[in-house]
Amino acid sequence: MKLGAIEAGGTKFVVAIGDETGRIEKRESFPTTTPEETLAKVFAFFDQFDIEALGVGTFGPIDPDPNSSTYGYITTTPKPHWNQVDILGQLKQRYPIPMGFDTDVNGAALGEVSFGAAKGLDSCLYLTIGTGIGGGAVVEGKLVHGLLHPEMGHMRLVSHPDDEFRGICPYHPYCFEGLASGPAIEARCHQKAYELPKDHPVWEMEAYYIGQALATYILILSPKKIILGGGVMKQTQLFPRIHHYTQSFLNGYIQKPEISSGIKDYIVAPGLGDNAGICGALALAKQALEK
């Protein structure tokens, strides 16, 4: 199969050609500007190839319901110029082929189940912690949508005892994204997250918030694997602390060896590395073609 993939991020678009095994043959990236400019670059890339299907994993919120009149739209995003953009409709008008459409994090979750750290499992949670915080989930082999799609970054958390910061989210004080995203760390510390030393006290708070959130996701979704991606998770010293706090918040309630003794293999970095999103879009294309 020759498949096309789009990882549509708020900062940059990644476009690629690959196959059903997740192998990427060619890729390009460019900044996300206006829809007109950005999609013109998308078209210029894919016009060079004869692809059988296309997968799109995009920033949101989106409308992933095929029965909705706004299916395929990026909807109420705060990203300038992208509110209520029919991205899938414009792609379908240009390329009348099967297309898969979902959030970027749902796509990454599907990519990790198909080709990465959760390969062989029918369940996983993928969380990106970076400019924002978002989560995608595969449960019993299916991506979770429901009323809209998961917005896992906006769950309210209990503040760390030493943290007086209320968060940066304009919608929800003390929510996960507002407290623990990259911009939240910068607002609290007045430095970019990647500039901070590995022993800075903020990393203990960061692990506390991530572990707290993961304990809740475990209780609700019961994933067989948790994968943590995004720029903040380049701070690999966080993983042992996250393992500790996840166990601490669960407090022995979940009696499974994955939690009690194997947590370092249960909460992991993406098996696909920085390609989780674009490989997820390939998996969406493959899924669309098979349907």
Tell me the domains of the chain and their CATH numbers. Answer: 3-107+274-290 (3.30.420.40), 120-269 (3.30.420.40)
Report the residue count for the chain: 291
Tokens read off for 180:
């623990």
pLDDT bucket at 69, cuts 50 / 70 / 90: very high
pLDDT digits (tens, 9 = 90+) for 217-226: 999 999 999 9
Instruction: Summarize the confidence of residues 246-256 as an average pLDDT.
Output: 97
Q: Is the pLDDT of residue 148 over 90?
A: no
pLDDT digits (tens, 9 = 90+) for 166-216: 999 999 999 999 999 999 999 999 999 999 999 999 999 999 999 999 999
CA dihedral 170, 173, 174, 178 (to 10 degrees): 0
Q: Which position has the token pair 């706004």?
A: 70
94's CB contacts (< 8 A; 6+ apart) are: 43, 46
Q: Helix, strand or coil for residue 76?
A: coil
pLDDT, averaged across the chain: 96
pLDDT bucket at 70, cuts 50 / 70 / 90: very high
pLDDT digits (tens, 9 = 90+) for 9-34: 988 999 999 999 999 999 999 999 99
Rounded CA gap, 197 and 177, in Å?
A: 22
pLDDT attached to residue 78: 81
Model-wide pTM > 0.85: yes
Beta strands at 124-129 and 133-139: parallel, antiparallel or unpaired: antiparallel
